[in-house]
Structure 1
């Protein structure tokens, strides 16, 4: 077999995601001898329309809780709702046996929010977004 092509793309189709994610999942399962990964979402919905307004998404796996995204529209910020979402996310992680949790956030997003809610900073990488010319 000749060397495989290396392609850089901004499009991640379902097949590519399945090959990469499935391959890593299989490797992890073989390495630890079990599979316990589960997706997790805590959603905030409009009570009248049922429309999703924000919330948190992530997953649990191997005793770790991964918080991938947490978003609230500006109109709902500052009311304690973000903390309630985070607590529900953490509680579900604990029910699933997670002993630690990981989130990454950028300086202009919400690092202080996580610290106020008991999360610890374990590393920092400077990020100064570059504005297109």
Structure 2
């Protein structure tokens, strides 16, 4: 008989993540061939921009894994939008990922009211569209070849 629990538990979440990665690595010849442990293959990649007063003007939070950059968040403060800062943040992350971490591709998710047109302009292509996620909104997954 199994006991099911629903509380948030960071230690269990991390244990589950490690075990899933170990299972996936064991099952995939491609993942087994990669150098380093699964945790060593994933590295945070952040790019920050401050205005002349030292306030946060924008930033990009992501990570690299195997040969991919995954952009998790890209945000530019309203007074700085439309001035190329988002492009600079993204191209800096792409450059670091490709030149310092041997990444060959990038991926990200965005909603229809956020920035799909911006990412397309940067060379990203929509590879997945999920309507009504959340209700009334469409989520897009986009990818781009780097280098």
TM-score tier after normalising by the smaller chain length = 0.7 to 0.9
Counterpart of 2:71?
67
Q: Aligned ranges for residues 1-133 of structure 1 at < 5 Å?
A: 2-7=1-6, 12-28=8-24, 30=26, 31=28, 32-33=31-32, 34-35=36-37, 36-49=41-54, 51-95=55-99, 96-127=101-132, 129-130=134-135
Distance apart, 1:92 and its partner CA: 1.1
Count of equivalent residues? 126
CA offsets 1:6-28 (integer angstroms, 9 cap, x no match)? 42x6xx55324422333344445
Q: Which moved more, 1:121-130 or 1:51-60?
A: 121-130
Gaps of 5+ in 2: 137-147
Gaps of 5+ in 1: none
Q: TM-score normalised to the size of structure 1? A: 0.79
